[in-house]
Copies of this chain bind each other. A is one copy, B any other.
Amino acid sequence: MARTKLRKASGLMSRNEWLITGGALVLSAIAGVLTAIHAYPVITFVVSGCALAVLAALVGIGTEQVGSRLGPGATGVLQSSLGNLPELFVGYFALRDGLIPVIQAALVGSILGNSLFVLGLAFFVGGLRHGTQRFVAEVPRMIATLTLLAVAALALPTLVFYLHTPAAGHEDEFSIICAGILLILYIISIPVSLKGGPTSIPEEAEEVVKLWPIWLAVVVLGSAALGAAFVSDWFVAALTPAIDILHITEAFTGLVLVALASNAVEHAVGVQLAAKNKADYAVSVILNSSLQVALGLIPVLVILSFFVGGPHLTLVLPPLLMVALGLTAILSTVITYDGESTWLEGLTLIGLYVIIAVSFWWG
């Protein structure tokens, strides 16, 4: 989520914020009712997916508002820990239900969605409006490089397993070691990204945003987080019956649908920024989402899975998923390294995303 500088001294919510809050309330309520009355699962799945997307946006807004009262350091810590809260809830409930293939695909899909689809869309929209866009590549490069390193680390358990090395029988321990090392790096990197360090996304000074009273900010953030927890539960519960009816594979559902529900609003923000010709900022925000998933969310869920009970989430991914992740990490690094983007590059990224998504369509 973008970090905006809040300038207006006080006031309650803006019109947009009211709309999002209201939408989150209404959609969550409908999703709850549909779940309670055991409605047709496809409808429950779609409605709770939409509710989740709006709640994710509200968590983002709430985090920013609470953070702006506590200073930029606190905002960074809050965003790093709460930014992927809805995805974390979905992951938790999917773990509880043993939906390992869905979670694996959703986590990879979250990175693919950001680094191929949304980055492509941002390049395309920005390029159509403003021609070849140049951006200061320093921060995006650093983020892309770190993501590439993290993805290389994430790929090792899969390689160890499918190359039939002696370590192949030790997926559990090896996955925990990899996850632990990545998580330590993530935690260490938080203060860096706060203090204008290498991966710190510069604040946008231009936007004027209403600053809420602290009680409102805390209430909204708390309610949105609580709502996300409930709605995630309903979303995951409706998932299996819904895709049975629709004949969609678990992998495609995770890769495209679940990843979309948890990231839709974040995606929209990135593309909007590119459309406004803030290419620097857009690329950083988009790639940073991928880094947070690779370095933070995946390790947390892997470690969590050993405490939830049920099958463990190891880092042994289906090979095609790992290849798709590796390709994405390499390509997004290459494409941001030169600090230039064109709409044709954007379109090609989108084309690649579609091709990868299609490859998971057949069951």
On A, residues with C-beta under 8 Å from B are 132, 137-138, 141-142, 145-146, 148-150, 152-153, 156-157, 159-160, 163, 165-167, 169-170, 174, 177-178, 181-182, 184-185, 188-189, 192, 197-199, 249, 318-320, 323, 327, 330-331, 333-335, 337-338, 340, 342, 344-345, 347-349, 351-352, 354-356, 358-363
**A285 CB, nearest partner CB in chain B, Å:** 19
Copies in the complex: 3
If the complex has contacts A338-B141, A359-B160, A359-B167, are A182 and B323 also in contact, measured as CB distance less than 8 A? no
Nearest B residue to A154, CB-CB: B355
CB distance from A199 to the nearest CB of B (A): 7
Question: What secondary structure prevails in chain A residues at the interface with B?
Answer: helix
* A198 partner residues in chain B, CB cutoff 8 A: 132, 342, 344-345
Q: A156-B355, A197-B344 are in contact. Are A249 and B166 (CB under 8 A)?
A: yes
| Chain B proximity of A154: nearest CB distance (Å) | 9
| With A141-B338, A152-B327, A170-B362: A344-B146 Cβ-Cβ less than 8 Å | yes
Contact, CB under 8 Å: B185 / A347 = yes
Interface pair A363/B166, CB less than 8 Å apart: yes
Q: Using A198-B132, A319-B163, A356-B156 as known contacts, say yes or no to A188 and B344 having CB atoms under 8 A apart.
A: yes
Q: Give A260 to B183 CA distance when docked, in angstroms.
A: 27
Q: Say whether, besides A152-B327, A177-B358, A178-B355, A344 and B189 are in contact (CB < 8 Å).
A: yes
